[in-house]
Structure 1
Amino acid sequence: MGAEHLLLGLVHEETGPGGVTLASFGLTLADARSAVAAAVGTGAPKAPSHIPFTPRAKHVLETSLRESLQLRHAHVDSGHLLLGLLSEQEGVAADILDHVGIDRAEGRRRALAAIDAAGEIPPPPEAVPQSRSAIDGANMRARNLAAELSQARAAKDAALDAGDFATATAMRQREKVLIAERDRMATDLRTDGRT
């Protein structure tokens, strides 16, 4: 997922600060889609799976977070994302903004005004920040679980290829246990984070 996809999301979301700002420059969803398709093409629809962010999209997200923190906001919304996109000087999203004629300084001014008009949304009262060590521990366990699951799947596939159905069955059982553990972990995280 590239920065251009973030731009498409902002244009699609018409009521937030990012969408309002882009609309004020006359950028429509149809125009943005056409520009992205012309720049990167369109792919065949794929089954839903994890689509990683490109380095440029990650940079935009990091910049958006910094913008939010500088404004002393407790969240990142579409206005902050637009500020992150406006900071980019290269790439498909930057080319589209340039093609539409969005001056970076004016875009930033309008985005800040739209963010200010939207007001700061306080975090929900039940949100309890987790300690850094708890988050690091959960991340490490998730990585280990993913590695164990990958190993179990590889061992199962190898056993099937070798015709060793007893081992394949045992590895399938291990895979089921790991998937159940992963699902419990995800449920626990959602419950703890109230999401």
Structure 2
Amino acid sequence: MFERFTADCRRTVVLAQEEARMLFSRTTGSEHLLLGLLGLPGGTVATVLAQGGLDLTAARAAVGSPHSPQAAELDAEALDTIGIDLDAVREKVETVFGAGALSGAAGAADRRRQGARVSGGHLPFTADAKKVLELSLREALAARSREIRPEHLFLGLLRTETSPAAVLLRAQGFDLDDLRAQVLAALA
């Protein structure tokens, strides 16, 4: 299937792998494919998403966030039931290690600035990312295209409604059907 990918689509997958490494992931998921699409300079997908207010920086922050605010509240409540004050622990850790020491996204950003990386090589695709890749081929075939473009990859991503990338897009206020229509219009 990868032989059908255009140079831009191959670059998207390479960018997705790089994003996964920068976020210290052991796999490449649909969320990393989304980051790869956003990182493609001048890409249709990046343009459509930017018009809706989502850029690479904001998407990275959303992907790199280890907990939602609701999950953090539940964690604090659970620890409180066994006598641990999460705010006191955070304060002590930040006193010793510096502000933001417990922030997963900030920690990953600091490691990126310092040049730290997960070892190179191929990161395996998650099941949802494999499904996106498979659906991108189907999207290209449905469009009677001999090649798979980044837009086809995105259309495949939009069809995996329970994937982390689709969940992220909906959380950012996007309607998946509207995005699909916009990208199909751009392809026409």
Identity among equivalent pairs (%): 43
Q: Which has the higher contact order (CA 8 A, sep 6+)?
A: 2
Residue of 75, 89, 101 corresponding to 2:173: 101
What's the offset of the Cα at 1:39? 4.3
- 1:50 matches 2:77: no
Counterpart in the other structure of 1:189: none
Q: Scaled by the length of structure 1, what TM-score is found?
A: 0.55
Alpha-carbon distance change, 111 to 56 in structure 1, aligned in 2, over 3 angstroms: same
* 1: CA distance, partners of 2:147 / 2:45: 14
Aligned partners of 1:83 and 1:108 also within 8 Å? yes
Q: Which consecutive aligned stretches of 4+ in structure 1 deviate over 6 angstroms post-superposition? A: none
Computing the radius of gyration over CA atoms, which structure comes out larger, 1 or 2? Answer: 1
* 2: CA distance, partners of 1:71 / 1:84: 12
Counterpart in the other structure of 1:22: 49
What's the offset of the Cα at 1:63? 0.6
| SS at 1:49 equivalent | coil
- 1:34 matches 2:61: yes
**Higher-helix-fraction structure:** 1
Q: Scaled by the length of structure 2, what TM-score is found?
A: 0.57
Deviates more, 1:42-51 or 1:76-85: 42-51
Matched positions, count: 116
* 1: CA distance, partners of 2:181 / 2:127: 26
Counterpart in the other structure of 1:62: 134
RMSD: 1.8
What's the offset of the Cα at 1:25? 1.5
Unpaired runs of at least 5, structure 1: 117-195
Deviation string 1:25-80 (CA, Å, 9 cap, x unpaired) is 22111100000001485666222112111110000011111001100011111111
